[in-house]
């Protein structure tokens, strides 16, 4: 019989409402190593028979100067030499090297793997998906090599509510969400960070490629990674000043290729050195987003029409399309000019998908909602660059905070028209390399208005 071992979550340790402590079917060697005297990281969680010694809980932004171990490490609030760091370890090479660097810099590091699936698969499928039992094994082995305590925390229910259900609801509403931003906002730097601070940790460390710069007055700014090719500041643009005060990105100032990161992992004896990076959406391991949505939303046949409203074909669910999509339209005959057609609009109200020529995708401005600022919000209009996709380029814009039906908003005007902008995506503003903030795109203004449909 396989052994069931209870791996403690922060809620259990605090004797508060628990997120359901994770039960993992342990394979040989899958064990949480409680820190003991002399164990690296033993200060992170001191477990006693009478309860938990937590130290000061929920510390605020730290005073003093930043450590020089790597840019943006939070200043030391207690003994002046070490931080109590919770390293989020996905089971991949980046998070393992980040944890190793934090420990090597002298910090008191504890590793944690987030169980984000209620029914995790045993193994990954190549580079697709994550959060499998295999990933937890890999994270645990990396922690053993680094010499730090390791735990598995169950955040599956929170992940389902805040990320997966939000993803499905956004597609059902005709929008195109980015679940990685939502995960950073709601899981890694909210649920995880809150638990970490409650347990007396000072910072959460991840393997993201971004840089936190500490200014003379102690405030923090989020900047692009030194290596623009690996920069991940776009998906971190949802972090506010409080979250940045407790964020640690040891890889952010690394002017190295991914091969060099893997070589470093190999030198450190980390078995994940050759493990493929995960791609696509982590909770859709097979990469079939349309199939995943169909399973949750069902099929609903509707029309594919052109700009005039003429019916060109049918579909089995408007959620299966995104603005700017060209392939997979299944239109039986070509356009009169013989040019390809692209998805211009998705209307969940009448379940209609509108297609047209590529030039009809040109967007000159947009309105975004729910802005989140990485520091002090701008007081008025300003000129910035904007990024609209995780791996997209920058474009010059003029942005201005405005009021929206949902509260505060943002109006962005592009210097030159851009294409493929979809409601639901995030627009992230930059001032040079500094991340100013982000917001969710609500509406767009087209350079070429759609033709009026017949009544």
Report the catalytic residues. 183, 282
The Cα–Cα gap between 21 and 14 comes to 12
Q: Which helix (H) or strand (E) covers residue 182, if one does? A: helix 179-183
Segment holding 400, helix H or strand E: strand 394-404
**Distance (Å, whole) CA 432 – CA 199:** 36
Tokens 């791609």 sit on residue: 279
Please identify which residue in the block is written with the tokens 């490490």: 73
> Which among 82, 76, 75, 90 has a CA at the least distance from the CA of 107?
82
Residue 151 vs residues 19, 133, 238: alpha-carbon distances, Å = 15, 13, 27
Task: Please give the Cα distance from 59 to 201 (Å, whole number).
Answer: 9
Report DSSP letters for 203-235, one per residue. Answer: EEE----EEEEEPTTS-EEEEE-SSGGG--GGG
142: Cβ contacts below 8 Å, ≥ 6 apart: 89, 91, 96, 99, 100, 111, 270, 271, 272
With residue 197 as reference, give the H or E element that holds it. Answer: helix 192-198
Q: List, as one string, the DSSP characters of 139-171.
A: HHHHHHHHT--EEEEE-HHHHIIIIIHHHHHHH
Which one-letter DSSP state was computed for residue 16? S
Torsion, Cα 31 180 74 70, to 10 degrees, reads 90
**212 touches 220 (CB < 8 A):** yes
User: How many Cβ atoms sit within 10 Å of the Cβ of residue 318?
Assistant: 24
């Amino acid at each position: 019989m396989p052994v069931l071992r209870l791996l403690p979550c922060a809620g259990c340790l605090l004797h508060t409402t628990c997120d359901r402590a994770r039960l993992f079917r342990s394979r040989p060697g899958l064990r949480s190593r409680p820190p003991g005297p002399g164990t690296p990281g033993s200060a992170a969680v001191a477990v006693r028979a009478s309860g938990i010694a937590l130290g000061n809980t929920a510390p605020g932004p730290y005073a003093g100067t930043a450590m020089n171990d790597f840019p943006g490490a939070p200043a030391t609030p207690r003994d002046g030499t070490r931080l109590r760091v919770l390293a989020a370890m996905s089971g991949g090479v980046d998070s393992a090297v980040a944890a190793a660097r934090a420990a090597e810099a002298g910090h008191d590091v504890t590793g944690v793997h987030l169980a984000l699936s209620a029914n995790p698969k045993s193994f990954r499928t190549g580079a697709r998906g994550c959060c499998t039992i295999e990933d937890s094994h890999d994270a645990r082995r990396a922690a053993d090599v680094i010499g730090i305590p390791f735990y598995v925390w169950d955040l599956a229910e929170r992940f389902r509510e805040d990320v997966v259900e939000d993803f499905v609801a956004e597609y059902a509403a005709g929008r195109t969400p980015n679940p990685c931003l939502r995960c950073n906002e709601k899981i890694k730097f909210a649920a995880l960070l809150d638990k970490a601070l409650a347990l007396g940790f000072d910072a959460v460390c991840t393997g993201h490629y971004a840089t936190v710069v500490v200014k003379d007055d102690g405030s923090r700014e989020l900047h692009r990674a030194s290596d623009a090719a690996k920069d991940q500041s776009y998906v971190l643009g949802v972090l506010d000043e409080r979250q940045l005060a407790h964020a640690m990105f040891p890889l952010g100032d690394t002017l190295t290729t991914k091969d060099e990161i893997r070589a470093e992992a190999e030198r450190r004896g980390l078995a994940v050195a050759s493990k493929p990076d995960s791609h696509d959406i982590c909770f859709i391991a097979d990469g079939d987003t349309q199939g995943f949505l169909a399973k949750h939303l069902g099929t609903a046949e509707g029309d594919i029409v052109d700009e005039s409203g003429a019916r060109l074909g049918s579909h089995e669910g408007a959620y299966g399309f995104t603005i700017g999509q060209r392939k997979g339209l299944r239109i039986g005959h070509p356009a009169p000019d013989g040019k390809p057609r692209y998805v211009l609009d998705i209307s969940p109200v009448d379940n209609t998908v509108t297609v047209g020529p590529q030039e009809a995708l040109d967007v000159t401005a947009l309105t975004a909602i729910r802005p989140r600022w990485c520091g002090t919000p701008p007081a008025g209009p300003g000129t910035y660059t904007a990024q609209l996709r995780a791996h997209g380029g920058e474009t010059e814009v003029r942005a201005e905070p405005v009021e929206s039906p949902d509260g505060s908003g943002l109006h962005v005007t592009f210097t030159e028209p851009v294409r493929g902008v979809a409601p639901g995506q995030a627009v992230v503003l930059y001032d040079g390399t500094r991340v100013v903030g982000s917001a969710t795109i609500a509406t767009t203004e087209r350079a070429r208005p759609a033709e009026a449909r017949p009544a």
